[in-house]
């Protein structure tokens, strides 16, 4: 086998960002935010100045730089400059605890924290003392000192050579820690470059992209920034999501592209102030990060039109494992609304049983992946690497089936499966059933320890505004449609469900509260 040489080296994320910012006309609008607008030429100059500042502050190739910030305009030059310098980027969950932040920073060996001091100055100072950070760099002037935007202004926006090569680590991603301490995932440039290439080749992009960001750029929505810029599009940043604010921004800016999590789609459907005409400019609304109830997806298609595309991935192989195209959201084939699409070209996907044997069509197995999209491995966790890469496959932990046409259907996370009375119960199937009830807005199903059943199927239900439900009605609905094994033994009504920072249902919090408390037993 010949040794790798520069002759065949791949692209880096820094090189792609630089190409995107240089390719568009300098006067074209690149970024629109509440703090102001930036054109492509202005954004390029800011990135080059910020890179010079980071170098002056002592950051060198493959140092780890952490980010704690919201959807701020000043965040983009900092994120891009880190790529230009060949640094390892680490984005902290904006809503995680101080303990979680401290653990991640120490585990990753990060000595530098870039912070949105308008929001997180107190947390940054606490972490400086606790972890021994060498540098805390605020984006803007404020409580943490002179901001990067001010400090970088004295540098000339000189051309630079993008540092590093495709084999370098470009990003450290950390899991949510729902099954214990978070694990750091190492991504070389191969992973995000593959992801961006697959996005550009697979998604049905509008001709002139106007991309509204309404989830944290530190996570899934941030991955869509580079392909938007490579297409010469404009990024519109929203600090927070509310249905009415989202609808206003879409209407005013004629937004034609966005990314949503299912709970945001539910919010748009359930807010009477949001009208179909408000979202009429949308051409592609990607959704993902957690499963969507097919009944609610049907509502969205009927109300807002055939603009939805579903992406499926995970932190270990982000965003583009499979894709359900807009044309696949076909009400003439309602079964496909439960699918996460077909594997994206370039990926190998196989459903394996516990013995590492491929299951048959229609049978449930663990969804496993081979692709340039897959991470290098977990940081400092060789025993976890052995598990997740068993048999030279990435084991996603998602249980799925595949139909004869190649469409994948996620049954549930393996760790979320409930074993009740010796039977395997998949929460997502019950949640999808409850979503068909005309009075149910959202639900979450968990297993609660039970002396007879091992785990009792427990449904936490949120009613639609102005509607009321009885527990007996919920039980009867599921019993008729899913049978006794899947029928909840307990029903709890709630005004809302706890959500993670990314808008996913927080099952860890639900389990903690309901395992400690008592539920209304119905049978």
**pLDDT, tens digit, for every residue of 203-262?**
999 999 999 999 889 888 999 999 999 999 999 999 989 999 999 999 999 999 999 988
Distances (CA, A) of 359 to 82, 154, 388, 404: 43, 62, 19, 13
End-of-domain residue from the set 381, 414, 447: 414
Closest CA to 31 of 72, 80, 84: 72
Closest CA to 176 of 168, 165, 188, 184: 184
pLDDT level of residue 521 (50, 70, 90 thresholds): very low
Task: In whole angstroms, give the CA distance from residue 485 to residue 429.
Answer: 12
Same domain, 409 and 428: no
**Angle formed at CA 315 by CA 309 and CA 316, multiple of 5 degrees:** 115
Same domain, 380 and 508: no
CB 171 within 8 A of CB 88: yes
Average pLDDT, the chain: 90
Task: In whole angstroms, give the CA distance from residue 285 to residue 306.
Answer: 9
Query: Half-sphere exposure of 119 toward its Cβ, with a 13 Å CA cutoff?
Result: 15
pLDDT of residue 3: 57
Domain of residue 139, CATH code: 3.40.50.980
**pLDDT, tens digit, for every residue of 366-420?**
999 999 999 999 999 999 999 999 999 999 999 899 999 999 998 866 677 786 7
* Total structural domains within the chain: 3
pLDDT of residue 159: 81
Worst-scoring range by mean pLDDT, 14-18, 95-99, 463-467, 486-490? 95-99
Domain of 364, in residue numbers? 203-414
Task: In whole angstroms, give the CA distance from residue 118 to residue 71.
Answer: 12
End-of-domain residue from the set 188, 218, 235: 188
pLDDT of residue 523: 37
Same domain, 298 and 248: yes
Task: In whole angstroms, give the CA distance from residue 198 to residue 6.
Answer: 23
pLDDT level of residue 501 (50, 70, 90 thresholds): low
Is pTM beyond 0.85 here?
Answer: no
DSSP H or E run through 222: none
Same domain, 256 and 130: no
Same domain, 210 and 350: yes
pLDDT of residue 20: 98
pLDDT at 197 over 70: yes
pLDDT of residue 502: 62
End-of-domain residue from the set 358, 387, 414: 414
Same domain, 410 and 433: no
**pLDDT, tens digit, for every residue of 14-66?**
999 999 999 999 999 999 999 999 999 999 999 999 999 999 999 999 999 99
Domain membership of residue 521 (yes or no) is no
Structure tokens at 440: 């149910």
Worst-scoring range by mean pLDDT, 171-180, 228-237, 245-254, 271-280? 171-180
Worst-scoring range by mean pLDDT, 68-82, 174-188, 220-234? 174-188
pLDDT of residue 423: 65
**pLDDT, tens digit, for every residue of 417-446?**
786 765 667 787 788 889 889 999 999 888
Task: In whole angstroms, give the CA distance from residue 227 to residue 221.
Answer: 11
Same domain, 335 and 393: yes
Strand, helix or coil for residue 491:
strand
Task: In whole angstroms, give the CA distance from residue 434 to residue 445.
Answer: 10
CB 202 within 8 A of CB 320: yes
Task: In whole angstroms, give the CA distance from residue 138 to residue 75.
Answer: 10
More confident residue, 499 or 502: 499
Task: In whole angstroms, give the CA distance from residue 133 to residue 349.
Answer: 41
DSSP 207-233: SS-EEEE-S-TTTGGGGGHHHHHHTT-
pLDDT at 183 over 60: yes
Strands 317-324 and 342-343 come out as antiparallel
pLDDT level of residue 1 (50, 70, 90 thresholds): very low
Same domain, 436 and 314: no
CB 508 within 8 A of CB 515: no
Same domain, 442 and 403: no
Task: In whole angstroms, give the CA distance from residue 194 to residue 320.
Answer: 9
DSSP H or E run through 3: none
Same domain, 155 and 71: yes
> What's the N-to-C CA distance of the chain in angstroms?
65
pLDDT at 354 over 60: yes
pLDDT of residue 414: 61
Same domain, 336 and 373: yes
Domain membership of residue 28 (yes or no) is no
Strand, helix or coil for residue 461:
strand
> Helix, strand, coil: what percent of the chain each, to 5?
35, 25, 40
Same domain, 404 and 494: no
Domain of residue 306, CATH code: 3.40.50.12780
Closest CA to 122 of 144, 104, 100: 144
């Amino acid at each position: 086998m010949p040794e790798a040489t520069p002759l065949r080296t791949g692209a880096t994320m820094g090189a792609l960002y630089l190409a995107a910012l240089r390719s568009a006309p300098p006067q074209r609008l690149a970024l629109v935010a509440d703090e102001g607008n930036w054109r492509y030429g202005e954004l390029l100059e800011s990135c080059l100045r910020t890179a010079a500042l980071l170098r002056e502050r002592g950051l060198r190739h493959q140092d780890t730089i952490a980010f704690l910030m919201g959807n701020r305009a000043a965040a983009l030059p900092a994120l891009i400059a880190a790529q230009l310098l060949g640094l390892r980027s680490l984005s902290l969950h904006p809503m995680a605890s101080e303990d979680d932040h401290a653990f991640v920073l120490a585990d990753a060996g990060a000595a530098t924290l870039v912070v949105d001091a308008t929001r997180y100055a107190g947390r940054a100072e606490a972490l400086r003392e606790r972890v021994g950070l060498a540098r805390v760099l605020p984006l803007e002037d404020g409580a943490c000192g002179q901001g990067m935007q001010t400090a970088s202004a004295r540098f000339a926006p000189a051309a630079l050579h993008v540092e590093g090569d495709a084999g370098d680590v470009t990003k450290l991603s950390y899991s949510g820690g729902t099954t214990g301490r978070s694990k750091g995932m190492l991504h070389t440039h191969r992973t995000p470059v593959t992801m961006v290439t697959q996005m550009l080749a697979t998604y049905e992009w509008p001709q002139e992209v106007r991309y509204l960001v309404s989830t944290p750029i530190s996570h899934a929505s941030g991955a869509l920034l580079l392909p938007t810029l490579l297409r010469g599009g404009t990024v519109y940043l929203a600090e927070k999501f509310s249905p009415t604010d989202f609808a206003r921004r879409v209407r005013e800016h004629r937004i034609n592209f966005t990314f949503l999590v299912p709970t945001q789609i539910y919010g748009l459907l359930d807010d009477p102030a949001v009208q179909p005409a408000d979202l009429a400019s949308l051409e592609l609304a990607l959704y993902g990060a957690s499963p969507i109830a097919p009944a609610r997806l049907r509502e969205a298609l009927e109300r807002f039109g055939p603009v939805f595309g579903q992406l499926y991935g995970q932190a270990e192989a982000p965003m583009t494992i499979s894709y359900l195209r807009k044309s696949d959201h076909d009400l003439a084939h309602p079964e496909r609304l439960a699918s996460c699409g077909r594997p994206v070209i370039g990926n190998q996907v196989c459903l394996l049983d516990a013995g590492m044997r491929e299951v048959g069509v229609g049978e449930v197995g663990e969804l496993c992946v081979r692709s340039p999209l897959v991470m290098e491995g977990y940081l400092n966790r060789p025993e976890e690497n052995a598990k997740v890469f068993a048999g030279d496959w990435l084991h996603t932990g998602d249980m799925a089936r595949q139909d004869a046409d190649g469409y994948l259907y996620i049954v549930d996370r393996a760790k979320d499966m409930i074993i009740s009375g010796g039977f395997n119960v998949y929460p997502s199937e019950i949640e999808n059933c409850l979503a068909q009830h005309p009075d149910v807005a959202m639900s979450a199903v968990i297993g609660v320890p039970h002396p007879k059943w091992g785990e009792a199927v427990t449904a936490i239900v949120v009613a639609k505004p102005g509607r009321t439900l009885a527990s007996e009605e919920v039980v009867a609905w599921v019993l008729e449609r899913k049978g006794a094994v899947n029928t909840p033994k307990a029903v709890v009504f709630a005004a809302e469900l706890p959500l993670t920072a990314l808008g996913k249902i927080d099952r860890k919090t639900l389990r903690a509260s309901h395992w400690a408390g008592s539920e209304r037993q119905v049978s």
